[in-house]
Amino acid sequence: MPLLKRKRVPPIETPKYDPAKKESKETLVWYSPLTQEIFTDYSEYLKRTSLYKKPIWQCEATGKQNLTYMEALKSEREEKERTGNKLSLELQKQVLLHIQFQTLRLDALVDDTYKHFVNRYVPGEFVQCTWDDNIAYHGQVLEVIKNEDAEEQYKVQLIDEDSVGIEDMIKVLPKEKIKRDRFAFSKNLLKKYIKEHAIKDTYIGAPWNIKPDTAEKFDIDTTLPEKLFEARNVAYAKSRKKRPTTGGTTDHNNGSINNRSLIIDSHKAELTLRYPMEDLNIPTYRRDPSGYGKITDMTPGVEGANTDVQNPTGSMPPHPEATHKTTVPDDCYGSFLMTWSFLSVFAHPLKLSPFSLDDFESALHHKQPSTLMREANIALLNAIIKQRDRLKKESQGSGSTAMAAAMSLYGSGYEISRSATSIAYEETLRRFSSEDDIDENHIWRFRPPAKHREKNPERGCGSPEVEEISRDWDHGTVDTEDEREGWENILIGFINQLAPLEMLDDIDRILSLLVPFAGSTLEDHENAYANLSLRDKIKIFELLISVANESYVIKQYMEECQEQMTELRKQKIELSRERKRIHAERRELDDKQTEETNQAKDIPDESSDSDNDSTASDNDDDSALLKAQRKQEYLTRHESRQAAMKRRQTEREEREAKRIKLHHLQREEARVRNQEQKMRNETRKRLDEEERALHKKEEQVERDL
């Protein structure tokens, strides 16, 4: 029977059926063809079916793990058919009586049993014995004789070809002159036999016991001795104390599953889940996140399926609490995270070194000039200036594309923020409005007239002080250390020219803080930016990111990433094909080995059939041989006992010679098979190495993706 956590899972008790009762006849049941179990509760049927389909079972015969119930059952049957029952029936019972109630581990038990029986024989067992002429004959043990010196001797009778005893060929022999066939008794055979017919519990010091069906076959009592019974009870009591409460047991199918070995540890079962999975395999229980506590059955259709789970968070708060309180205000925390994420993701095209979220937060709060703030602002400004250089070149042409490029040089609040439009802006509008090739319905030709400010605020957007500082702010990128000095003026020019309409009020306020008074110096602007609040700095970053995100620097980087993604996907497809090739080669090896195994099983039968056919044909064709055989039979009836034994001895020698010849042929065939097996093993080793290298490549591709 397949094992779950090295334990047997008893089947559900079959519900009682009373044909005289109407309730029994009308009861709806569900049948499992895999285990022949009958359920009266559909939820329990689904649970058991789901459990049988999970790869958590173990083959009892071979020890293979991570199998479904059906796979484990099939493995046990194949192992039993392959090994067969090679031990003689007379020896089986003695082996079972010897191993019963022993507490050794399996390997030690096999060694002990082998040493005990290697030179001991039981009545009825077929052996090979050395007779007076120092020739080995086939015989059968009739009786075990114990002498006063405690040395065992055996009464042995020789047998003929039909395993029938020969009269007057009985003799008492010491164990030194008796031996078994080497294929009929070995440690490997004993190990498989013990695993097949005996079981052992999982607690420390548990004894081996015979399985019920085997004990009934050989009439062996499996009742534990008193000492072992008390030790088992003590071990079970200790196990119950260590095991957490599981909320009691539940009755199903008119029978109660009270055995604690049936209680499924859902916390460990969850570790075996692999998604995606079938609907029936989805766990239908809920429990405390700690892994302990009562299991709540949430199976659809059962009582309490729609009820709230008690203590769903396991005495933990609904949301995780921060280890330390953040200094970023809640209303701008999202923008704060967005800014840091953008600078981290696009650090390569922006030529920024990576930095942590805590460092970014500390730099925003710092009231002195900060290298991190300076480099982050300059990186975004350089991307914007590069894009503006391209737009300026495009705007020199004609048509709607040139006009769109020219208008992109100014923000949506450029006109409204000023009491008078600049000469450059008016010249741009005048140049494009006079072109005939622009669509008559173009938005810029028929846009409503902008409403200008009556008066610019002091040191606000469009004010003379700010316009003076902003002149030629985008004449070139900031690359050297000398050019970095006074980068705040470039920032002021950017804000002044590309201010969006919806942020005008905030822009006026921020510019008035960045330009504290008329005629302020570079040092004043540097200190003014450092003294800005965290909210204002984040708003400046938001404005910079919204414009830089449309630059070709970012778009080109994203296109390169897309090309790399395409290339990595191609590599992934190639790796998948390579994996399929490896699996196909491995499957071909397995199929070839299985085919050779099946052919090896069929060869003896075919050879025996062919021998019989050839013998029959020879007997039919050769009448002279028949006459010789009749004459030999006539002489045999009248020959003496000594002559009969010599004749039998000659026949045995001939059979022995044939056996030796056959043995040599089998050894040669075995050598060829071993050579082929060696080549297959080398091929498997090569495939395993290729698969490991392939796995490393796949991991690298996943990391790159």
pLDDT one-digit tens code per residue, 501-524: 778 788 888 888 888 888 888 888
Q: Among residues of the chain, what percentage have pLDDT more than 90? A: 6
* Contact partners, residue 554, CB within 8 Å, separation at least 6: 346, 349, 383, 548
Tokens for 332? Answer: 């701008």
Which residue has better confidence, 617 or 385? Answer: 385
Residue 341 pLDDT: 93
Q: Please report which confidence band the pLDDT of residue 342 belongs to, taking 50, 70 and 90 as the band edges.
A: very high
Q: Is the pTM higher than 0.75?
A: no
Residue 346 pLDDT: 92
pLDDT in tens, 357-414: 989 999 998 888 889 999 999 999 999 888 888 888 877 776 667 767 776 776 555 5
Residue 344 pLDDT: 92
Which residue has better confidence, 401 or 655? Answer: 655
Which residue has better confidence, 457 or 587? Answer: 587
Q: Which residues pair with 701 in a beta bridge?
A: none
Which residue has better confidence, 554 or 481? Answer: 554
CA distances for 222 relative to 100, 215, 642, angstroms: 8, 7, 52
Distance CA 564, CA 703 (A): 12
Q: Please report which confidence band the pLDDT of residue 2 belongs to, taking 50, 70 and 90 as the band edges.
A: confident
Q: Please report which confidence band the pLDDT of residue 245 belongs to, taking 50, 70 and 90 as the band edges.
A: very low
Residue 294 pLDDT: 59
Residue 380 pLDDT: 92
Q: Please report which confidence band the pLDDT of residue 572 belongs to, taking 50, 70 and 90 as the band edges.
A: confident
* Contact partners, residue 562, CB within 8 Å, separation at least 6: none
Residue 600 pLDDT: 65
Coil vs helix vs strand at 565: helix
Distance CA 60, CA 4 (A): 10
Range with the lowest mean pLDDT among 218-232, 360-374, 444-458, 465-479? 444-458
Distance CA 245, CA 265 (A): 11
Best-predicted range by mean pLDDT (33-37, 78-82, 457-461, 501-505): 33-37
Distance CA 119, CA 122 (A): 10
Range with the lowest mean pLDDT among 16-20, 272-276, 315-319, 499-503? 315-319
pLDDT in tens, 403-458: 677 767 765 555 555 545 555 555 655 555 555 444 444 444 434 445 555 566 77
Residue 434 pLDDT: 53
Q: Please report which confidence band the pLDDT of residue 337 belongs to, taking 50, 70 and 90 as the band edges.
A: very high
Range with the lowest mean pLDDT among 54-58, 122-126, 423-427, 546-550? 423-427
Q: Please report which confidence band the pLDDT of residue 86 belongs to, taking 50, 70 and 90 as the band edges.
A: low
Residue 655 pLDDT: 86
Distance CA 152, CA 145 (A): 6
Is the Cβ–Cβ distance between 92 and 194 less than 8 Å? no
Q: Please report which confidence band the pLDDT of residue 186 belongs to, taking 50, 70 and 90 as the band edges.
A: confident
Coil vs helix vs strand at 55: coil
Arithmetic mean of pLDDT, 593-605:
68
Arithmetic mean of pLDDT, 66-92:
76
DSSP 595-632: HHHHHHHHHHHHHHHHHHHHHHHHHHH-HHHHHHHHHH
Q: Please report which confidence band the pLDDT of residue 338 belongs to, taking 50, 70 and 90 as the band edges.
A: very high
Which residue has better confidence, 431 or 490? Answer: 490
Q: Angle at Cα 350 formed by Cα 349 and Cα 351, nearest 5°?
A: 90
Q: Tell me the one-letter amino acid at 495.
A: I
Q: Residue 56: is its pLDDT beyond 90?
A: no
Q: Please report which confidence band the pLDDT of residue 635 belongs to, taking 50, 70 and 90 as the band edges.
A: low
Residue 323 pLDDT: 65
Q: Please report which confidence band the pLDDT of residue 541 belongs to, taking 50, 70 and 90 as the band edges.
A: very high
CATH architecture, domain defined by 87-239 = Roll (2.30)
Among 213, 207, 210, 224, CA closest to 94? 210
Q: Tell me the one-letter amino acid at 479.
A: D
Coil vs helix vs strand at 629: helix
Residue 31 pLDDT: 87
The rounded mean pLDDT for the chain is 77
- Residue 76 has a CB neighbour count (10 Å cut-off) of 19
Residue 52 pLDDT: 87
Residue 619 pLDDT: 47
Residue 218 pLDDT: 86
Coil vs helix vs strand at 296: strand
Residue 438 pLDDT: 44
Tokens for 484? Answer: 């970095």
Distance CA 681, CA 570 (A): 32
